């Protein structure tokens, strides 16, 4: 079922999750005073929270703030350009943004242009949905050498995130190493190895398309500290790698010895994933598959139970020349197994290293509780602890994991917590709040010009028009300055 279809159904909570049904309590018929809600962040978490509140309480007015002039967060800047079907959820978010009780204000940086305290004074409810905006570092010697990039920055580069537009990665080496066994790691490998004719039909940025067309990379090694049973990618991404035209899969059969008897007892999604890995490792040299492998000019492989120790510099010391890995042993079983470093090491020669070990949220303001170790806002069902009227949803609530459907479920839970608190009286909404009118006056004083959703639609139209001229879905604007110029036309 599509996300759009999912959102047209009624929902009820079952064992902490949302399930379709007619049993949800609706507050839309209650004649409550107008509730002013401020949502910080316009990614999936922000829009799903807003959508649920607006649908189930007709006295709610939601204002969504975003630091960039454009909405949709990781749907625009995180989803791989060759996955356009995932981006269709933007159509649902656009419907929410067009509701009369919903407004979008881009180009507003909370903490700089306006403070949390000022927003608290202007709104009954603050929902923090600003996601995970930084990357986790490897924390090893040589990590800052030229040729070493975070997966987040590389994804931002080919997806047109303004802060990464000038990354200009060096793709002159034949071998690249990606650290991490998640979906983003496979996205990175797939983009590096994809036939250029496939990428030309996507919304990948023009400068990254040119760089990849001239890339010398033809071998990608994807390294993880644990074993096959603990990989974090899903079967869809794995299948895409296996079927990637012109590229062979090199999986070591020894890595999968003895796993067949374990697979039968795994949960179905993990079982199917493991069966595909085992089949690829053991049967890649048979029949038509052998012909496919022989004709390939590029290759990718998975390296298990390896943890990065240091980045080895090139002979001249000017850039990355390789990576030193510690061989690990696993303690525990299945997905809970922990990797422990041993004294054995392995060196891999390479000229490009991409670190894809996860994203990290940051504290937005000293007044907002934040767990530095977990990288989340402490909360209970989305209620920020010790902060009445403040809620959170998405990655800043639960950590940077899961897909868009996970975020939908998570955001519905937060929205329902808001609605429950309104109905029970825990959340006092009796006082009149100025909402955006108050914030607008402050922004004007500070010379900040917010971008409305109609301003975004001008940007959207401009990008689509430029894309049509070169046979692409869109050609993204890469600077905030360009975006503001188009939005304010």
Q: Is 85 within 8 Å of 403 (Cβ atoms)?
A: no
Strand partners, 299: 219, 248
Q: Is the pLDDT of residue 293 over 90?
A: no
Does pLDDT of 12 surpass 90?
Answer: no
Specify which residues 19 forms β-bridges with.
12
pLDDT at residue 21 tops 90 = no
Q: What share of the chain is helix, strand, coil (3-state, %, to 5)?
A: 40, 20, 40
- Which tokens in the block code for residue 214? 């001239």
**pLDDT for the residue 292:** 67
**Percent of the chain topping pLDDT 90:** 82
Q: Which are the contacts of 373, defined by CB distance < 8 A and separation ≥ 6?
A: none
Name every residue whose Cβ is closer than 8 Å to that of residue 236 and which is 6 or more positions away in sequence: none
Mean pLDDT computed over 110-118 = 96
Cα 139–Cα 145–Cα 146 angle in degrees, nearest 5:
135
DSSP string, 274-320: HHHHHHHHHHTTSHHHHHHHHH-SEEEEEE-SEEEEEEEEPTTSSSE
- Mean per-residue pLDDT, 62-68: 98
Widest CA span in the chain: 73
pLDDT at 15 over 50: no
Beta bridge partners of 265: none
Instruction: Quote the radius of gyration of the chain (alpha carbons, Å).
Output: 24
Are 43 and 13 in contact by the 8 Å Cβ rule? The answer is: no
Task: Give me the pLDDT at residue 13, please.
Answer: 46
- Is pLDDT above 80 for 245? yes
Show the domains of the chain with their CATH numbers.
Answer: 3-133+361-451 (3.40.50.720), 137-359 (3.50.50.60)
Mean pLDDT value of segment 403-420? 94
pTM as predicted: 0.89
Regarding beta strands 60-65 and 102-105, do their DSSP bridges make them parallel or antiparallel, or are they unpaired? parallel
Q: What is each CA distance from 360 to 68, 126, 149, 446, in whole angstroms?
A: 19, 21, 16, 30
To which H or E segment does residue 62 belong? strand 60-65
Residue 33 has pLDDT above 90, yes or no: no
What's the mean per-residue pLDDT of the chain?
91
**The 3-state secondary structure of 151-172, one letter per residue:** HHHHHHHHHCCHHHCCCCCCCC
Q: What is the pLDDT of residue 466?
A: 97
Question: Tell me: the pLDDT tens digits for 149-198?
Answer: 999 999 999 999 999 999 999 999 999 999 999 999 999 999 999 999 99
pLDDT at 396 over 70: yes
- Specify whether the CB–CB gap between 125 and 418 falls below 8 A: yes
Residue 317, sorted as left (phi over 0), alpha (psi -120 to 50) or beta, turns out to be left
DSSP state of 438: H
In the prediction, which pLDDT does 16 show?
42
Q: Count CB atoms within 10 A of the CB of residue 349.
A: 14
Please compute, for residue 400, the number of CA atoms within 13 A of its CA located in the half-sphere on the CB side.
Answer: 21
Question: What confidence category does residue 286 fall into, taking pLDDT thresholds of 50, 70 and 90?
Answer: low
**Does residue 55 have a pLDDT over 60?**
yes
Average pLDDT, stretch 405-427? 95
437-446, long-range: CB < 8 A, 24+ apart: 438/118, 438/121, 438/122, 439/63, 439/105, 439/114, 439/118, 439/119, 439/122, 442/114, 442/118, 443/108, 443/113, 443/114, 446/113, 446/114
Region 366-385 average pLDDT: 94
* pLDDT band at residue 265 under the 50/70/90 scheme: confident
Q: For 197-216, write each residue's pLDDT tens digit.
A: 999 999 999 999 999 999 99
Tell me how far apart the alpha carbons of residues 274 and 439 are, in angstroms, rounded to a whole number.
Answer: 52
d(CA 302, CA 227): 10
Predicted confidence (pLDDT) at residue 322 exceeds the cutoff of 60? yes
């Amino acid at each position: 079922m599509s996300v759009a279809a999912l959102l047209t159904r009624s929902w009820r909570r079952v064992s902490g999750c949302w399930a379709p049904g007619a049993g949800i309590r609706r507050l839309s018929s209650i004649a409550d005073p107008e509730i002013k809600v401020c949502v910080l962040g316009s990614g999936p978490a922000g829009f799903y929270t807003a959508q649920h509140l607006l649908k189930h309480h007709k006295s709610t007015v939601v204002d969504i703030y975003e630091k960039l002039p454009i909405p949709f967060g990781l749907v625009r800047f995180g989803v791989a350009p060759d996955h356009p079907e995932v981006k269709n959820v933007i159509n649902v978010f656009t419907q929410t943004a067009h509701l009369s009780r919903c407004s979008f204000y881009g180009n507003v940086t909370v903490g700089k242009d306006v403070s949390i305290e000022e927003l608290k004074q202007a709104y009954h409810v603050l929902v923090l949905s600003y996601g995970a905006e930084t990357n986790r570092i490897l924390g090893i010697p040589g990590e800052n050498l030229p040729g070493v990039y975070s997966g987040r920055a590389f994804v931002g580069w080919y997806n047109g995130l303004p802060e990464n537009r000038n990354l200009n990665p060096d793709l002159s080496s034949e071998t690249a190493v990606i650290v991490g066994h998640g979906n983003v790691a496979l996205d990175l490998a797939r983009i590096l190895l994809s036939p250029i004719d496939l990428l030309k039909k996507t919304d990948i940025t023009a400068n990254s398309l040119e760089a990849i067309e001239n890339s010398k990379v033809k071998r990608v090694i994807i390294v993880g500290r644990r074993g096959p049973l603990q990989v974090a990618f899903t079967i869809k991404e794995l299948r895409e790698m296996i079927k990637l035209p012109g590229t062979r899969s090199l999986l070591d059969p020894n890595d999968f010895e003895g796993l067949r008897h374990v697979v039968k007892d795994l949960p179905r999604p993990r079982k199917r994933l493991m069966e595909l890995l085992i089949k690829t490792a053991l049967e890649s040299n048979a029949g038509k598959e052998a012909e496919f492998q022989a004709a390939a000019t590029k290759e990718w492989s998975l390296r298990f139970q390896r943890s990065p120790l240091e980045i080895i510099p090139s002979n001249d010391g000017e850039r990355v020349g390789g990576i030193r890995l510690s061989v690990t042993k696993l303690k525990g079983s299945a997905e809970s197994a922990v990797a422990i470093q041993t004294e054995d090491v392995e060196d891999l020669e390479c000229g490009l290293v991409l670190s894809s070990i996860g994203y990290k949220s940051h504290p937005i303001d000293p007044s907002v509780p934040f767990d530095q170790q977990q990288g989340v806002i402490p909360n209970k069902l989305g209620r920020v602890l010790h902060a009445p009227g403040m809620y959170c949803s998405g990655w800043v609530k639960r950590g940077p994991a899961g897909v868009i459907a996970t975020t939908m479920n998570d955001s519905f839970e937060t929205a329902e917590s808001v609605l429950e608190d309104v109905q029970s009286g825990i959340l006092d909404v009796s006082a009149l709040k100025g909402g955006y009118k108050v914030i607008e006056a402050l922004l004007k004083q500070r010379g900040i010009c917010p971008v409305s959703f109609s301003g975004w639609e001008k940007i959207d139209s401009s990008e689509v028009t430029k894309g049509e001229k070169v046979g692409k879905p869109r050609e993204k604007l890469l600077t905030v300055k360009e975006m503001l110029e188009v939005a304010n036309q």
